[in-house]
Amino acid sequence: MTKLRQGHKVLGTFIDALNWSQAIVQITSWGESRQSKTVCLCNVHSSVTARSDSNLSVALSKSDMVLPDGSPVAWMLRKKGYKKQTRIAGPDLMERLCANLETSNIGIFLFGASEQTLQKLLETLKTRFPRLNIKGSLSPKYGDWSPEEETTYINKINQSGAGIIFIGLGCPKQEVWMTKNKDKIQGVMLGVGAAFDFHAGTIKRAPDYMQKAGLEWLHRLLSEPGRLWKRYLLTNTKFIYFALQDLRHKSTT
């Protein structure tokens, strides 16, 4: 009998209520037996986007684990009864998993980002986690892929023997792609987005005090105002509006 997942919907998307240990143990268990699973990280941007993007909404609903990447998403879970829920950010999840996997035989595969970013990421991981079993990496072609190209990518991932595949294609492309190929990939896929850039050092991450205060979005906005101002202005405003509606409805039921 399948164990029921603990969690609650936030803006219509089900988010798992898990602590760090539970998430890592479950992902590692799936990876050890190379089960075809998908793990998504849900922040303010993805939760708001899913309300109007049916492909992303379906991808999140079909995911085997959806973790609260953003502090506001974790806060919503706490308001819905999961008092100890913390933020589980993609870059931190990737880092903790890699540290944990140093003592196992589970291999990892890196799929996404530019060739330059991927090479820097590989150098960082090999330095920080020398016993990590890196089975392979692949920087896919920019833009759309033909069925033949996609099949080549899938075959290379599977032939590597990796049990955990980190996907860095960005939201919503990575979530949709993981769902589409779930039963074709022999391993756990984690959509970690910008984690590749953060760990490679191509994008500087917010200081710890800003992360703890839930202001990592502000750091990114200040770093790339021309590209991100509209995204954060619109999505943050929409999230606040929908969250208040959600909590108001909860208080009257």
- pTM greater than the 0.85 cutoff: yes
Question: Which has the closest alpha carbon to 64: 178, 144, 221, 145?
Answer: 178
Beta-strand ranges (E) seen in the chain are 7-10, 13-16, 37-42, 65-68, 108-112, 134-138, 164-168, 188-191
Please tell me the predicted confidence (pLDDT) of residue 252.
52
pLDDT of 138 higher than 70: yes
Question: Which has the closest alpha carbon to 232: 219, 217, 244, 245?
Answer: 217
Q: Taking residues 139-153, what's their average pLDDT?
A: 96
What tens digit of pLDDT does each residue of 98-127 get?
999 999 999 999 999 999 999 999 999 999
Which residues does 153 contact at the CB level (< 8 Å), separation at least 6?
111, 138, 140, 145
What tens digit of pLDDT does each residue of 12-55 get?
999 999 999 999 999 999 999 999 999 999 999 999 999 999 99
What is the DSSP pairing of strand 13-16 with strand 7-10?
A: antiparallel
pLDDT of 1 higher than 50: no
What residue spans define the domains of the chain? 29-202
Under a CB-based contact definition with an 8 Å cutoff, are residues 60 and 50 in contact? yes
Opening angle at CA 203, ends 202 and 209, nearest 5: 140
> Domain 29-202 classified CATH 1.20.1070?
no
pLDDT of 236 higher than 70: yes
What tens digit of pLDDT does each residue of 200-218 get?
999 777 677 777 766 776 6
Please tell me the predicted confidence (pLDDT) of residue 3.
67
pLDDT of 163 higher than 70: yes
Please tell me the predicted confidence (pLDDT) of residue 229.
66
Distance from first CA to last CA of the chain, Å, rounded? 31
DSSP class of residue 184 equals T
